[in-house]
Amino acid sequence: MRVTRERMRVTRERMRVTRDSAHAVAPRTVRVHSRGRGALIGAGIGVVVILGLFAIDAWAPSLFASPLPTRAQDGLTLGLSVLIESLPFVVLGLLLSIVVQVWVPAGLIERWMPRRAWARRAVLSLLGMFLPVCECGNVPLARGLLIRGFSVPETMTFLIAAPIVNPIVILTTHQAFGFDGGILVARLVGGYLIANLIGWLYSRHPDPDALLTERFRAECAHDDHLHGGRVRQSLELFVAELRAVMPALVLGSALAGAIQVIVPRDALLAIGANPVWSILAMMALAMTVALCSNVDAFFALSFASTFTPGSIVAFLIVGPLVDVKMLALLRTTFTTRALAGVVAIVLAAAFVIGVGVNLGG
Amino acid sequence: MLRESSSPARGRALGTRWLGVGLAACVAVVTLGLAVTGRIGLYINPDAAWWAVSMSIVVLIGAIASCAVPVTGHTHHHAEHDAHAEGVEEPVPEPVPEPEPDELPRRSAPAVVATVVGGTVASAFVVCSLVLPPASLSAELALSRSSGGAPQLASSATLALASSGDTSAFGIGDWASVIATTTDPSSFVGDTATLTGFVGPGEGDDDFWLTRLVIVHCVIDAQAASVPVADAGWSDRFDVGQWVEVTGTFTQDSAGALVLEPVSVAAVSEPGDPYEY
């Protein structure tokens, strides 16, 4: 692993050199003319496609009067409403992620970090406050941190804390719940503590780099894939990150809609009032619906009238950290064993916090 | 996109764009279409429409600008490992111009299948949203969502306003929370109201529940709010789910609970804004 680290460093140096020389050397300007025309044609195609989509959106619905059975239509309506509500937040996260990855000068974040391991983790877990990226955007960002040379436990602390200790999440959770039942406070403090607990536990691991997948280590070795100027890099990230996030977002929204239509309310109501079972049920729900942490508070709100506050807190803690979508994203970077440990810790801690809120309330 | 020479590479590039920028652009177009035609309230609270609309515009600008950038190894590469994670991805992932591509482990067949299925389902969902007309939730589902109680959102502000005597602007949601939370029902006896909602079944044939969905942010958090209407024999005249406009006066029933005594109950068609916010 030390070898890999060294290769990462060398790669970074090489990147810097390549980039600098690319700016200085003349041959690049020769291609600018043809590239400029290509860009115009590409943008022209983009405009035409978008106008085409508007045309379809305007005229196609008149061809289908009432095409779907009621239940499917309700599922579509619910899923689409989650999608329309959450897309703006995901786009905001994406924009910020681009700013951090492309526009913040190298070394700026590192310079502000304390030296001691626990203090670094404590600060990193608050970094999410200043990098308001949703859980999906965090994974690419965390990979960037690893490549920049942050240790595995430090990066993990950031990854676990950032989806919860995050300005947009605080805002939306506050909008949904206010300070009722201590839900907002329990979510924030709980998320922060769990992240630092996990960071501390894994810092005691004899070989933290073994927590990373072979694949990611291999990728670190030639991670010089950003090309051209900053605008170009930003657009490439825009394409790549949307590709990574959108299918999961659409599937998550559709699933959330489907669950609302398929699972009978009565069944949920029966579980919802029990102080222990309600927590387990909401944790299971959190792992399966895979909502973005920016909007899951709105979703949880629909359960607030029937479920115990502790179970809502457990839902809001588990969902952003270890839902199916997040685990799939994390699996790119961390080994299955490492993730199993994280899941066990998060579930246990969320359960304890949930029971605490129920007893305290 | 423009510099891609071999067709598999071009297919991958298009797949990457469709599942990322393409899906986002479709949702943005749907959002803007709804906002322009004034129907955004069918999905989200219109108060938040400015936010959804401005971010949709950002998506479209980004989508158009991104078409000016040819897809390079970076996009494939990056999209590949991220998507590997979520198990949703285009079929033949292979970083094209990267050095030493053989160093990256190949993906398993189940992962590829999951990718194709997930991508297809996500595409189908978004295309349906684009092509099908917007719709409100069915009364059937709305009724199954009513847990019997008033919406959670009953605020003390509503009650304070109600006690001050100005209930003229109250909707069904406001009245439902007043009825559920007031400690002095008699103070509302004699208040008149004109309310529009759909018919929900009451306990017997003597009254029905005038129902409407109340939304905080988007339709998924919709909660049913109901006001009891004393109208003997209603089931002969209205089906459950029929939209009606009720004008009447609040009175107390034999148990002391507030109930709307109608002067007129008229069938109407579903309003363009079927929810309260």
Angle of helix B49-66 relative to helix A70-98, nearest 10 degrees, comes to: 70
The pLDDT tens digits for B74-131 are: 433 433 343 343 343 334 444 444 343 444 445 667 767 877 888 899 999 999 999 8
Q: Which of A43, A57, A236 sits opposite B30 (nearest CB)?
A: A57
Q: Which of A43, A325, A332 sits opposite B65 (nearest CB)?
A: A43
Strand partners, B196: B245
> Of chain B residues 144-163, which have a CB less than 8 A from chain A?
144-145, 147, 149, 151-152
Among residues of chain A, what percentage have pLDDT more than 70?
77
The pLDDT tens digits for A168-212 are: 788 888 877 877 778 889 989 999 999 999 999 988 888 888 888
Using CB atoms within 10 Å of the CB of residue A201, give its burial: 0 to 12 exposed, 13 to 18 middle, 19+ buried. middle
pLDDT for res A34: 66
Mutation target among A242, A305, A339 for the B interface, most CBs of B within 10 A = A242
CA separation for the pair A336, A333 (Å, rounded): 10
End-to-end CA distance of chain A: 49
CA separation for the pair B157, B164 (Å, rounded): 11
Q: Which chain B residue has its CA at the smallest distance from A60's CA?
A: B131
Quick check: A19 pLDDT over 70?
no
pLDDT for res A194: 92
A–B CB contacts, 8 A cutoff, strictly below: 295
Residue A279: φ, ψ to 5°? -65, -45
Task: Say how many C-beta atoms besides its own lie within 10 A of residue B201's C-beta.
Answer: 15
pLDDT for res A49: 92
Quick check: A350 pLDDT over 80?
yes
- Short-list A334, A317, A313, A126, CA closest to A210: A334
pLDDT for res B73: 44
B226/A219: higher pLDDT = B226
- What's the length of chain A? 361
pLDDT for res B101: 40
For A53, residues 6+ apart whose C-beta sits below 8 A from its C-beta are B25, B26, B29, B130
Task: For residue A141, give how far its alpha carbon lies from the nearest alpha carbon of chain B (Å).
Answer: 12
Q: Which residues of chain B lie closer than 8 angstroms to A259, CB-CB? A: none
Is the predicted ipTM greater than 0.95, yes or no? no
User: Which residues in chain B come in under a pLDDT of 70?
Assistant: 1-6, 71-108, 111, 145-166
Mutation target among B3, B218, B240, B277 for the A interface, most CBs of A within 10 A = B218
